[in-house]
């Protein structure tokens, strides 16, 4: 009889626990989120390419799809087009130049996209203005190069970007593992007004992000270390509603492959992160190669009435879909 009572208590305990986990983490009883998703335009509006067989050193400019628009990534015209299409945030990549500025450019070297060799740090900002960043783009294995001659002067400095879009929100990517680049960027950002810093988020490798954060603790940042620290801590304690301090004031890029396993996904999780000033961006696939929600059919994989952040490489295709939904 005693064993039976103990067994009954154990069953009751686990039943109560299961009910608690469900009620505390289901979105069914969560306050409805009626905002539209936050749209993040990766590198502004640029040419997209096949992800099949891609590696870290793949020259993506040599495998673009047939162009559907005239914009090249990480340029002021592409950012303007992205904001006008409906982007809430534009992501861009930065690299230090020979004369101590930040150029907005993605690749490790200039060889793939441009008519020059070497890296950004080998040139001054003025010299980079003479480079044709459209030189290497081809959609037909080199038979034609539709952007040759059209990319001269299009590499902007970070200064120029922030001046061109004084109210624009940006996600800045430090394309380096060097902690000194985090210090260099921190020194630069320290000269900006506080209200401007609230419009900026920086992400990248652990080293430079750690250095940057030590100088600008109020700035929203993300690295593999901050992402892992938050998600591991949340996995262990988030079921209770507890929000680890390491999750506060950061950014989380969540691959759609794993999002469903987060406690409270989607609405309760998003509300929890909102409460600690943490932005959630959903990226497509498993998150390896900056895959985005780039077609109308991709959007069908989103949770119903999803209102978190969305990573896209085709803001021109995605943003109108939410305008249509709003009108409906």
Q: How far apart are CA 197 and CA 190, in angstroms?
A: 9
Q: 118: pLDDT confidence band, cut at 50, 70 and 90?
A: very high
Do 228 and 171 belong to one domain?
A: no
Do 170 and 41 belong to one domain?
A: yes
Do 232 and 108 belong to one domain?
A: no
State the residue range of the domain holding 115.
Answer: 36-175
Looking at the predicted structure, is the pLDDT value of residue 10 above 70? no
CATH classification of the domain holding 145: 3.20.20.190
Looking at the predicted structure, is the pLDDT value of residue 11 above 80? no
Q: What is the DSSP code (8-state) at residue 61?
A: G
Q: Is residue 5 part of a domain?
A: no
Q: In this predicted model, which residue has the larger pLDDT, 35 or 46?
A: 46
In the chain, how many H helices and how many E strands? 12, 9
pLDDT score at 15: 60
The arithmetic mean of pLDDT across residues 280-306, rounded, is 91
Q: How far apart are CA 174 and CA 104, in angstroms?
A: 10
* CA-closest candidate to residue 240, choices 198, 217, 268, 206: 268
Q: How high is the mean pLDDT of the chain?
A: 91
Q: What is the DSSP code (8-state) at residue 142?
A: T
pLDDT score at 239: 86
> Strand 220-222 and strand 279-283: pairing?
unpaired
Do 155 and 240 belong to one domain?
A: no
Do 132 and 240 belong to one domain?
A: no
> Strand 309-312 and strand 220-222: pairing?
unpaired
- Residue 318, C-beta contacts closer than 8 angstroms, at least 6 positions apart: 39, 293, 294, 296, 299, 310, 312
Residue entry with tokens 């680049």: 181
pTM of the prediction? 0.92
Do 130 and 241 belong to one domain?
A: no
Which tokens sit at 93?
């990549």
Q: Is residue 3 part of a domain?
A: no
Q: How many domains does the chain have?
A: 2
* CA-closest candidate to residue 24, choices 277, 259, 268: 268
Q: Which residues pair with 280 in a beta bridge?
A: 252
Do 69 and 159 belong to one domain?
A: yes
**What 3-state class would DSSP assign to 312?**
strand
Of 175, 197, 213, the residue that ends a domain is 175
Do 143 and 229 belong to one domain?
A: no
Q: Is residue 26 part of a domain?
A: no
Q: Is residue 94 part of a domain?
A: yes
pLDDT digits (tens, 9 = 90+) for 221-273: 999 999 999 999 999 998 888 999 999 999 999 999 999 999 999 999 999 99
pLDDT score at 327: 44
Q: Is residue 205 part of a domain?
A: no
**What 3-state class would DSSP assign to 173?**
strand
Do 308 and 233 belong to one domain?
A: yes
Do 41 and 111 belong to one domain?
A: yes
Q: What angle (nearest 5°) sits at the alpha carbon of residue 293, between those of residues 291 and 298?
A: 120
Do 146 and 41 belong to one domain?
A: yes
Of 151, 175, 199, the residue that ends a domain is 175
Q: What is the DSSP string of 228-271?
A: HHHHHHHHHHGGGT---GGGTTBEEEEEHHHHTTSTTTTHHHHH
Of 149, 175, 201, the residue that ends a domain is 175
Q: Is residue 101 part of a domain?
A: yes
Helix ranges, 98-154 (H): 125-128
Q: Is residue 234 part of a domain?
A: yes
Q: Is residue 64 part of a domain?
A: yes
**What 3-state class would DSSP assign to 101?**
coil
């Amino acid at each position: 009889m005693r064993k039976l009572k103990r067994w009954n208590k154990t069953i009751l305990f686990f039943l109560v626990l299961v009910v608690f986990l469900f009620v505390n983490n289901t979105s069914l009883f969560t306050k409805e989120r009626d905002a539209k998703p936050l749209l993040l335009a990766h590198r502004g509006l640029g040419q997209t390419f096949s992800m099949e067989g891609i590696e870290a050193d793949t020259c993506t400019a040599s495998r673009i799809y047939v162009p559907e628009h005239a914009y090249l990534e990480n340029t002021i015209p592409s950012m303007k087009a992205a904001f006008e299409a409906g982007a809430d945030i534009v992501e861009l990549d930065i690299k230090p130049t020979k004369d101590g500025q930040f150029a907005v450019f993605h690749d490790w070297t200039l060889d793939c996209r441009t008519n020059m060799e070497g890296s950004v740090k080998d040139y001054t900002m003025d010299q980079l203005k003479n480079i044709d960043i459209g030189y290497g783009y081809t959609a037909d294995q080199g038979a034609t190069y539709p952007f040759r001659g059209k990319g001269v002067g299009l590499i902007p400095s970070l200064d120029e970007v922030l001046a061109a879009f004084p109210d624009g929100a940006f996600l800045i990517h430090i394309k380096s593992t060097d902690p000194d680049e985090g210090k260099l960027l921190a020194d630069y950002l320290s000269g900006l007004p506080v209200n401007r810093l609230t419009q900026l988020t920086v992400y990248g490798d652990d080293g430079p992000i750690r250095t940057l954060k030590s100088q600008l603790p109020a700035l929203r940042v993300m690295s593999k270390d901050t992402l892992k620290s938050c998600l591991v801590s949340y996995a262990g304690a988030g079921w209770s509603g507890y929000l680890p301090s390491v999750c506060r004031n950061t950014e989380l890029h969540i691959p759609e492959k794993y999002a469903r396993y987060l406690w409270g996904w989607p609405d309760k999780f998003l509300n929890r992160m909102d409460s600690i000033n943490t932005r959630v961006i959903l990226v497509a696939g498993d998150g390896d190669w900056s895959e985005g929600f780039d077609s109308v059919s991709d959007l069908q994989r989103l949770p119903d009435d999803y209102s978190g952040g969305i990573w896209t490489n085709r803001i021109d295709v995605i943003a109108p879909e939410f305008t249509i939904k709003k009108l409906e």
